[in-house]
Copies of this chain bind each other. A is one copy, B any other.
Amino acid sequence: MAGKPVLHYFNARGRMECIRWLLAAAGVEFEEKFIQSPEDLEKLKKDGNLMFDQVPMVEIDGMKLVQTRAILNYIATKYDLYGKDMKERALIDMYTEGILDLTEMIGQLVLCPPDQREAKTALAKDRTKNRYLPAFEKVLKSHGQDYLVGNRLTRVDVHLLELLLYVEELDASLLTPFPLLKAFKSRISSLPNVKKFLHPGSQRKPPLDAKQIEEARKVFKF
Partner-B contacts on A (CB < 8 A) = 51-53, 61, 63, 65-70, 73-74, 77-78, 86-87, 89-91, 93-94, 96-98, 101, 131-132, 135
A52 to B77: give the CA distance in the assembly, Å.
25
State the copy count for this chain.
2
If A51-B94, A52-B131, A131-B53 touch, whether A89 touches B63 (CB-CB below 8 Å) is no
Task: Give the top 3 A-B pairs by smallest Cβ distance, nearest first.
Answer: A70-B93, A67-B97, A70-B94
With A74-B90, A86-B74 as known contacts, state yes or no: A69 contacts B52, CB within 8 Å: no
Are B90 and A65 touching (Cβ within 8 A)? yes
A135 CB contacts on chain B under 8 angstroms: 51-52
Distance (whole angstroms) from the CB of A76 to the closest CB of chain B: 10
Chain B residues contacting A67 (CB-CB under 8 Å) are: 93-94, 97-98
A44 to chain B, nearest CB (A): 14
**Complex interface: chain B residues within 8 A of A90 (CB):** 63, 65, 70, 73-74
Taking the closest CB of chain B, its distance from the CB of A72, in whole angstroms, is: 9
* Bound Cα distance from A10 to B89, whole angstroms: 26
Contacts of A101 in B (CB 8 A): 52
* Cα distance, A30 to B78, chains bound together (Å): 33
